[in-house]
Amino acid sequence: MPKHRVAVDVGGTFTDVCVFDEDARDIRVTKVPSTPDDPMRAVLRGVQRSGVNLSDVSLFSHGTTVATNALITRNFGPAAMVTTTGFRDVIEIRDGTKDDLWDAYNDVAPPYIRRRDRFEVTERMDYAGHVVTPLDEVEAHRVAALLRKRGAQTVAVCFINSYVNPAHEIRMREILEEELPGVAISTSAEILPEIFEHDRFNTTVANAVLAPKVSGYVNRLADELQAGGYRGDLLLLHSGGGSMTPRMVERYPVRLAASGIAAGAIAARHVAAQCGFPNAIGLDMGGTSTDIAMVHGGELRVTKEWSVEYGYPIIFPSIEVLTIGAGGGSIAHIDNAGSLRNGPQSAGADPGPACYGTGGTLPTNSDANLVLNRLGTSLAGGAKTLAPELAEKALLEYVAQPLSLDLDDAASAVLQVANANMADAVRLISIRRGYDPREFALIAFGGAGALHGAEVARELNIPTVIVPANPGVTSALGCLLVDIRHDLSAMFDAVADEADPDEFDSAFAGLEAEATTRLQHEGVEGEDALLQRTVSMRYLGQWRSLTVNCGSGPDGLAEAIERFHEQHEREYSFRRDEVPVQIYQLGLTAIGVTPKPTFVPHDATATPAPAPRETREVYFDGHKWLDTPIYDRTSLPAGTQLSGPAVIDQLDSTTVVPPEARAEIDEWLNIRIHLTADFTTEA
């Protein structure tokens, strides 16, 4: 029987492979350089380097950046949009807002589909779903013929009020399928059957432009895995924290946007729960960016409105993650005012930091860490050799000399700016929302997270930093911890106390039938199929709504109303029981339970640290150069205790334990860094 579970997470610099052995219940990891031109090459190379035979794999889970990168770079094939006459410019008008209201020169990026590729067809439904103007099929065929002539590879069909009656969109789809065989077609009523055409149109357009590229990548990878001997479904992690099979990706490719980001947040929650922390902040610092997520009360925050680019919302539930341009490859530079900046520009995997010796000449965080001896001269188990002289040259030319600093102070300043940027981002998702970071643990992971975690925690007065056993591939581990998940929704406008119970249950029954069909399509049945109802509600007259869980029994709606009052009071500090509650929308989460890895705790009897592998001078702010022991993490068993300063090397990351801090290896082989009161209150 297959005995391995494999998870692969593709990052901007490295592709991480995590292999869980079901018999031994342990993990081995592999890192290979990413191949941005074709991510699949790095995936297959990483699996090969891990030594696992695909015929021995029971589950293959993958977090991918293909969808996100396609939206960022706008690397699409020929795409078109068909809409109701008069509504061609909805996706360009947007909601009239700007990312920076006061910058007159900072325009919102153009829509994903150009105006010349947006076509109108005569038809009209009213708000209740009644036909006002029938679909003009002559026009529809004419548009379809024109799209065929133009070589469209994907089409978004977005008609007004189709969320309440999709008949015209369904017919338009049939006509397009007749005229354009093999072309991907996304209809807004299927992708997002919700009111607000701006949100619905943009989500559908994003789904359409991604369809050829994402589906092509996923299907090619699935075929390669099967050719290698894998017999299961390839599971793709989506932004909502669940997974989906290639068959569902073909219908909803937009759900893979922010795929890898969600994996890190899920892994952070798992590590925090292992260590007994219900409140934690995940700091996932990779080569290009840092992803920050918050766990409160054991739950991750979820948002329903997000975007890869401002102005073009994607209305699917997504784990809320704040991403900033701070990674190992983030470039340090002097701005026009003469101030030192760090990121968001990144050297990425190609050409990479200066110290990589692969063509990069600009100074990065990796170069600064190398100059300060926090990094050794090799990465990923020797797969990458670093050149200190190239790092020194870059820092001298672009930072030290322009600012009249010596090399050490210049490298330290680069890292201080990076740490301050990350600390500010943590404040945005914690203090700004009323949460005190001192009541949280910081989960530092990613290839560079353990290098910076303690310094970021010091900025925020966070007392404990947890570095997972394999920090560089923690996001890949997150791919092994998720279930198949689908999120469905339907509009339902009624005052809760006056809602017809039969109509209410009937609406949910329709969603549950669709959810069951999807799960069966993915091979999930019986006890492994779980359905959870939710209701979005608001006080009558309000604009924004809150979503609460809803039971299925006769008291389900009444209990949901009470939950709404309680949640409204928690978030806004007041409740109005005397005001009618309006139902706005019904939601359904369909879960297909997948097997999870179980880990074996180790005996964590307190023991002193063994002799270090070597000692070298490492630079620390406030101390300058200190003789610092360098440990191999594999030589530190559970229970090991040590005091800073110390540097702990391993295949996928490097951990820095600063002075005035102590560290221990816990029963799960995490490094827990405890910062003293004096250390955490330093300015």
Given a cut of 80, whether residue 681 has pLDDT beyond it is no
Residue 28 shares a structural domain with residue 137: no
Residue 84 shares a structural domain with residue 190: yes
**pLDDT reported for residue 306:** 86
Given a cut of 70, whether residue 381 has pLDDT beyond it is no
Which amino acid is residue 160, in one-letter code? Answer: I
**pLDDT reported for residue 121:** 97
**pLDDT reported for residue 259:** 82
Q: Which among 659, 655, 651, 650 has a CA at the least distance from the CA of 678?
A: 659
Span of 35-39, 310-314, 546-550 with lowest mean pLDDT: 35-39
pLDDT single digits (tens) 642-655? 998 999 999 888 99
Given a cut of 90, whether residue 277 has pLDDT beyond it is yes
Residue 576 shares a structural domain with residue 618: no
- Quick one: pLDDT band at residue 679, thresholds 50, 70, 90? very low
Widest distance between CA atoms in the chain: 82
Q: Which of 188, 209, 230 is the last residue of a domain?
A: 209
pLDDT single digits (tens) 96-113? 888 888 888 888 889 999
More confident residue, 433 or 542: 542
User: Is 403 part of any domain?
Assistant: no
Q: Which among 114, 293, 318 has a CA at the least distance from the CA of 205?
A: 114
Residue 617 CA to residue 637 CA, distance in Å, equals: 25
pLDDT single digits (tens) 167-187? 999 999 999 999 999 999 999
> Average pLDDT, stretch 384-401?
93
**pLDDT reported for residue 514:** 92
Sheet holding 14-21, edge to edge: 26-33, 14-21, 4-10, 57-63, 234-237, 243-244, 484-495, 581-592, 529-539, 546-550
Which amino acid is residue 145, in one-letter code? Answer: A
User: Is 107 part of any domain?
Assistant: yes
Q: How many residues does the chain have?
A: 683
Q: Which of 531, 559, 592 is the last residue of a domain?
A: 592
Residue 199 shares a structural domain with residue 82: yes
CATH number for the domain spanning 85: value is 3.40.50
> Average pLDDT, stretch 363-370?
95
> Average pLDDT, stretch 351-372?
93
Given a cut of 60, whether residue 415 has pLDDT beyond it is yes
> Average pLDDT, stretch 254-265?
86
Q: Which of 566, 592, 618 is the last residue of a domain?
A: 592
The answer to whether the CB of 156 falls within 8 A of the CB of 207 is yes
**How many percent of the chain have pLDDT more than 90?**
62
Q: Which among 229, 226, 222 has a CA at the least distance from the CA of 2?
A: 229
Please tell me the total count of domains within the chain. Answer: 4
DSSP states of 481-539 as a string? Answer: T--EEEEEEEEEEEEGGG--HHHHHHHHHHHHHHHHHHHHHTT--GGGEEEEEEEEEEE
> Average pLDDT, stretch 192-206?
93
Sign of the dihedral through C-alpha 98, 104, 106, 111: positive
Residue 496 shares a structural domain with residue 583: yes
Given a cut of 70, whether residue 680 has pLDDT beyond it is no
**pLDDT reported for residue 102:** 87
Residue 675 shares a structural domain with residue 630: yes
> Average pLDDT, stretch 225-254?
90
Residue 529 CA to residue 67 CA, distance in Å, equals: 27
Residue 121 shares a structural domain with residue 87: yes
Which amino acid is residue 126, in one-letter code? Answer: D
Given a cut of 80, whether residue 519 has pLDDT beyond it is yes
**pLDDT reported for residue 677:** 52
Residue 586 shares a structural domain with residue 518: yes
In the block, which residue shows the tokens 């943009």? 202
User: Is 267 part of any domain?
Assistant: no
Residue 569 CA to residue 656 CA, distance in Å, equals: 42
Residue 162 shares a structural domain with residue 190: yes
Residue 655 CA to residue 661 CA, distance in Å, equals: 13
Which amino acid is residue 464, in one-letter code? Answer: T
Residue 670 CA to residue 604 CA, distance in Å, equals: 11
User: Is 559 part of any domain?
Assistant: yes
> Average pLDDT, stretch 50-58?
91
**pLDDT reported for residue 528:** 87
**pLDDT reported for residue 552:** 82
Residue 128 shares a structural domain with residue 203: yes
3-state helix, strand, coil split of the chain in percent (to 5) is 35, 30, 35
- Quick one: pLDDT band at residue 432, thresholds 50, 70, 90? confident
Cis peptide before 351 (omega within 30 of 0): yes
Range of the domain at 641: 607-680
**pLDDT reported for residue 383:** 65
CATH number for the domain spanning 242: value is 3.30.420.40
Q: Which among 665, 81, 521 has a CA at the least distance from the CA of 655?
A: 665
**pLDDT reported for residue 382:** 64
Q: Interior CA angle at 498 toward 497 and 502, to 5°?
A: 105
Q: Which among 142, 149, 156 has a CA at the least distance from the CA of 184?
A: 156
CATH number for the domain spanning 582: value is 3.30.1490
Two tokens at 92?
């360009």
Average pLDDT value for the chain: 90
Residue 672 shares a structural domain with residue 621: yes
User: Is 442 part of any domain?
Assistant: no
**pLDDT reported for residue 385:** 84
> Average pLDDT, stretch 28-41?
86
Span of 40-44, 540-544, 581-585 with lowest mean pLDDT: 540-544
Residue 198 shares a structural domain with residue 136: yes
User: Is 358 part of any domain?
Assistant: no
Given a cut of 50, whether residue 239 has pLDDT beyond it is yes
**pLDDT reported for residue 678:** 47
User: Is 437 part of any domain?
Assistant: no
**pLDDT reported for residue 683:** 33
Question: How is residue 372 annotated by DSSP?
Answer: T
DSSP states of 423-471 as a string? Answer: HHHHHHHTGGGT--GGGSEEEEESTTHHHHHHHHHHHHT--EEEE-SSG
pLDDT single digits (tens) 58-91? 889 998 888 888 888 888 889 999 999 999 999 9
Residue 293 CA to residue 266 CA, distance in Å, equals: 9
Cis peptide before 645 (omega within 30 of 0): yes
The answer to whether the CB of 475 falls within 8 A of the CB of 63 is yes
Given a cut of 70, whether residue 1 has pLDDT beyond it is no
Given a cut of 90, whether residue 582 has pLDDT beyond it is yes
Other Cβ atoms less than 10 A from the Cβ of 219: the count is 15
User: Is 434 part of any domain?
Assistant: no
The answer to whether the CB of 34 falls within 8 A of the CB of 10 is yes
